[in-house]
Structure formats: C-alpha cells, structure tokens
Amino acid sequence: MNVVVVLLLLVIAAGVGRRLLDLLHLPATNMAEEGLLSLALGFGLISLVTFLLGIAHGLYPMLILAMMAAFAVVGFRGLVVLWRRSQSASAPRISWITGVTLCIVVGHVIANLVVALTPPAQWDALVYHLAAPQTFLREHYLIEMPDVEQTYWPIAIEMLYMVLLPFGGDTAPQLLHLAFGILATGSVALMCQRLFPGVPPGLAAAIFIAQPVVNKLVGTAKIDMGYALYAILGLHAAVVWHSTRNWRWLCAAAIMCGLAAATKLIGVFLVLLLLPVLFVNQRESSTSARWSALRAAAVVAGVITVIISPWLIRSALLTGDPVYPYLSRFLQALPVETARTHVISITGLVRIPWTLTMDVLPSSAAGAPLFLALLPGLLLIRGRDRIVKPLLVGVSLYIGVFYFFSLLEMRFLLPALGVFSILAAYVAIQLTSTTWRALRIALFVVVFTPLAASLYVAARRVPVYWDVVVGKESRDAFLTRRVGPLHDVLRFANQTLPTTATIFAGWEVRRYYSDRRFLSGNSIWWINESAGIATPQELRNKLRALGVTHVLLSWDYHNTLRDMFRAGLLVHDPETNLLLSPSFQPYYRTIYRAGPVELAELR
C-alpha cells in the first residue's frame, strides 16, 4: 500500500509539474529533462499548497485527499503529454560501460529499497522530519513546536511527508526519499549529458549513488536527497542558461534553487555555486557580460527569496527572526547550543579534500575516495572545457563556506558531490583515452573499485533489515534494536499513561514514537525558559506550570553530551542540567526503566 501511495504522489506531481512547465514555456530538449523538471516543480507546488492548508487549520485526511484529487484533475493533461512524449522517444543505444554502471545504480536502489521498507529509526527523522508532520496532523494545523527549533526552518519536504503519512504509513516518506535519491541520480546523469556529451551519463550517476553519504541516507526519512534533486536541477538549468542565454532557463535555475532553500535553509548558499557559472560569459563583450551576469544574479536571488518567503514570514511572525535562531543569536545573544566538528585553520582549509574523505565524524559519512583520487587528473587534461573552471570555483566556494560557518558534514555538500561526480566521470573517461593499454586497465580498476565496494557495503546491510521486511521480526523488536531502550520506554508510556499526560525529556529529542505530548529539554527554548532556575524546587514548579506530569531521563545521551563537552565540542556543560542532578531525585518517582533510560512521575 505504501508503495502505491508514493507512486500515486509521483504521478500526480509529474502531471501538475508538466502543466507548470507549460506555463513557464521552458524548452526542455529531451524526455528525461522534461520528466525531472516536471516532478521537481510538481513537488514544489504540492508542498506549498499543503503548507497553506496547514496554516489554514485544514490538515485533515479528507481535505488532503481532496487537495490531491484536485491536483490529479489539474495535472491529467500534463500526464497525457508526458505519456505521449515517452511513447515517441526511442531507447538509446547502450554501451557496455553504460550497462555496467546501470547495474551498479540498480543494485544500490534495490539494497536501499529494503532499508526504506523498514520502520523509521533514523535520528533526525524521529526528531522532526517525521515527528513534525505527525504533530501537525494530530493538531490539524502547523502548530508551533518551540522545543524543536528545526520546525521554524523551511520544511517543504516534510509537507510532502504530511500528505503521505495518513495514507501510506511511516515507511512511505522513506520510499519518497528513496525516489528523490533516484531522481537526483538521474539529474546528475542529465547534467553530465549536457556538460560533456562524450561522457557516459550512467558513469556519473553510478559515481553519485555510490557515495557513502547517499548510500547511508537515501533509504531513510530525511530530506537531503530532495535538497540534492532541486540543487542539481538548478545547476543543470544554470548550465543550460550559460550556453543559451535563454532567461527562462535562468528562471528555472532560480526556482529550483528556491525550492532547495525551501527544503533546507542552507540552500541559500547555492547562489555561491551558481555565481561563477553566471559570471563566466562566452559570447558577449566584457561590460555587457558583467551587466548580464549581475542581472542574472539579481534574478536568482529575487526568485529564491520569493519562494522561501512563506517560511521566513512564518518564522518571523512566531519568533521575530526569519531565520531563527541565526539572527536572534546576534540580536539577542541567545545561548545557542553549538557543536563544532573541526578546528578552523588555513592548513585545515587546504586539507579539506583529504579530511572529507578520511577523517569524518562517526555520525557522518565519508566522501568517496574516487574524488580525491581522480581530481588531480584534471591537471593532466589539456584544453579543458571552459565550463569546468567556473564549476570548480563554485564548488570550492560552497565547500569553503561550510568549512568556515557550519558543520563539515557530507550531506550538506550533496550538490557539490553531484558536480564532483560529473567531473570525476569526465576525468576518468578523458584519462582512459590514453593509448597505453596497461594504464587504461589500471584506470578502469581505479574507477570501478570504489563503485564495487559501495555496492558491497549496500548489499551487506540488507540482512540487517530483511527480517522485519518479510515479517520474521516484529516492528517493536526491530525498533528496540535500532532505536534502543528509548523505544521500550515510549511504548510503555503509550500503553499506560493517560492521554492527557505530558512527558518532559531532559536531553532526549526523538519524539516520533511517543503518542503523548512530548517536550524536549534539549532545545534553545528550554535553555531560555530555564535561564533563571537555580533550585530543584523551582525546576519542579516550572515543569508543573508547563503541564508536565512525567519526566524521561536518558542517561546514555547525558553521558554522550558530557563527553562532547569535555572534548570542547559543546558550549554548555550538561552537568548543570538540574533534571539529571542528584538534588532533583526527591521530586520524581521512577515507574519504568529500560537500560539507561527511565520514565518517572513528577511529584
């Protein structure tokens, strides 16, 4: 059923998006380009209307169904057009290299399909990607969730998850995220075909999907693959604009980047990736080229701002900060909890390619070694295409910003990885044109070793998930195995606590499996709320005032934070958390314990 629901959403999005493509008069040159742009536009429109429905207190399953039915009617003509196009398109000739790379892509998709069919257990999904839509659906509108600051950010993909949850269950969002991953991989192939017609697009696609970070995330209910899809399509449209100077393509690039920013706030930095492409002009004189580039940059910035404005306005109305908490941090000196993964230095900046491949956080995923291995190969290719340079500059700017201002996590760098995949495929194919057979064979080994290794890693994960997919393992047993003792405690709370109970969790943030009202103490909201609290008595009174009846104490998470603080990665000392201090013990009575997690009644 969940697969059917996701397929229906894809079909409706494609139909509606195709109608939007007509409105934009975007001259797509082939079926793949038309299909991918239609889907991306369709998803963007559905998420925007769902957002408006949420603002208007209309989040009822019947209303969502009616909305989707209306989209289906509107998009029917678009679907018919797409169907006719697909019938008239002939199948391309497939070389052996395309065949092999297609097998690699399909292998990754099958392995991750098994992961996507299991109950969600990924951290961020349980914190807000699924928890926020679930809470919104329960309250029938976009209720403010002050203890989950991520819900103030643009969360367009979560709006699509909200459409799926009532009809397809909680594996449907994971399947949609997998679909986003497949479409993003297709976008990489599409952009490769446009940039380097001599390079098999399947190779770039295989390099992209074989990224450890893609492999790790694509089957979970996160939103990063949606971000990657919009960003790569935006870059593709910018590249087409670069060669055609057709302003409709520039608008398409800006719309896609706007949708990426509405998916993930960091999407605004995509402008950095686009700027070098916009400013390199191949035809016009220098003065007119500069003006043209400036106009282009203004159009891109304007369209991005318009597309994310509903989200920014919502955040500004609720918190006074359109990009909460980032502006508040400067204006009100909020005690924002920050974690850093790296120490900033010039040598660190130079070492980024090595660091991203070899030394990443255990919670993150490394880059594929293929980029690090092959990128020096660009120096060996004489007379490189002119577009390569601005792309490399754009990618460097984008990664540089993340080095200085953010966590250096690979998932934030997915758009850059899309470009790298294309460049790596380009370098590989150019180098394998060498006349020396031994070198050619060695280069093929270099290219296919990480792809094969990634497929092996993906296949190795299947047995971990297989039993629950085929029903040999129960959902609860699987979740206890994947989420840990927290799942047992929340299950106990769901079965025994009254429906009016409110649970306050000292550090815990993973609320998705709680059917009771859940407040997290690991948030900026709580840091502010608890700022003046000095005694356990005051803490108890504060919790009572918030309607809290039970507290959830997660000692393993507390210990993790304590270790992070000692390593200099946290601003606030977790030991100052009164809730977990011995002095607060007289104010609660433990009613259930599973490992290091306990549920207690507030006295």
Partner 1 sequence: MRPPRHHDSVPDQHPCRSLNRSKAEPRQAKLHSEVPIKVNSQLEASSTVYQRRSRTSEKTPPFLGTTLLIGWCVVVYINYFQRFETVARLLAWIRVALGWS
**Among 23-31, 110-118, 224-232, 288-296, the segment contacting partner 1 (CB under 8 A):** 23-31
Helices 2-24 and 247-263: angle between axes, nearest 10 degrees: 150
Q: Is position 351 an interface residue for partner 1 (rule: CB under 8 A)?
A: no
3-class SS shares of the chain: helix, strand, coil, % to 5: 70, 5, 25
Residue choice 240, 268, 278, 599 for contact with partner 1 (CB under 8 A): 240
Assess 451 for contact with partner 1 (CB under 8 A). no
Q: Is 389 in the site for partner 1 (CB under 8 A)?
A: no
Handedness of CA 135, 138, 141, 147 (dihedral sign): negative
Nearer to partner 1, 26 or 486 (CB): 26
Q: Does 430 bind partner 1 (CB under 8 A)?
A: yes
Contact flags string 89-108 toward partner 1, x per CB under 8 A: xx-xx-xxx-----------
Which residues share a beta bridge with 589?
Answer: 601
Using CA atoms, how far apart are residues 553 and 544, in angstroms rounded to an integer?
17
Stretch that binds partner 1, among 50-58, 59-67, 443-451, 553-561 (CB under 8 A): 443-451
Please state, in angstroms and rounded to a whole number, the distance separating the CA atoms of residues 435 and 257: 42
Output 332 or 434, the one with its CB closest to partner 1: 434
Q: Which of 270, 282, 299 is nearest to 415 (CA)?
A: 270
For residues 295-324, b (16+ Cβ closer than 10 Å) or e, as one string? ebbebbbebbeebbebbbebbbeebebbbb
* Closer residue to partner 1, CB minimum distance, 385 or 538: 385
**Interaction of residue 200 with partner 1, rule CB under 8 A:** yes
Min CB(200)–partner 1 separation in Å = 6
The answer to whether residues 349 and 393 touch, using CB atoms and an 8 Å cutoff, is no
The torsion region of residue 602 among left (phi > 0), alpha (psi -120 to 50) and beta comes to beta
> If binding is defined by CB under 8 A, does position 41 make contact with partner 1?
no
CA–CA distance, 12 with 371 (Å, rounded to integer): 37
> Does residue 449 bind partner 1 (CB under 8 A)?
yes
Looking at the Cβ atoms of 433 and 474, the one nearer to partner 1 is 433
Instruction: Using the minimum distance from each CB to partner 1, give the nearer residue, 9 or 368.
Output: 368
Region of 320 please: left (phi>0), alpha (psi -120 to 50) or beta.
left
- Sole window of 104-112, 195-203, 397-405, 530-538 interacting with partner 1 (rule: CB under 8 A): 195-203
Spell out, one character per residue from 247 to 286, where the chain touches partner 1: x when CB under 8 A holds, - when not: -----------------------------------x----
Are residues 223 and 231 in contact, defined by beta-carbon separation less than 8 angstroms?
no
Whether residue 143 contacts residue 135, with contact meaning beta carbons closer than 8 Å, is answered with yes
Choose, by CB under 8 A, the member of 288, 434, 537, 576 that binds partner 1: 434
Which residue, chain included where needed, has tokens 């600051």? 149
166 binds partner 1 (CB under 8 A): no
Least distance between partner 1 and beta carbon 403 (Å): 20
Is 29 a residue that touches partner 1 (CB under 8 A)?
yes
Nearer to partner 1, 187 or 430 (CB): 430
385 binds partner 1 (CB under 8 A): yes
Q: How far apart are CA 159 and CA 572, in angstroms?
A: 33
| Residues that bind partner 1 in the complex, under the rule CB under 8 A | 27-31, 34, 85, 88-90, 92-93, 95-97, 194-200, 240, 243-246, 282, 357-358, 366, 369, 372-374, 376-377, 379-387, 429-436, 439, 442-443, 446, 449-450, 453
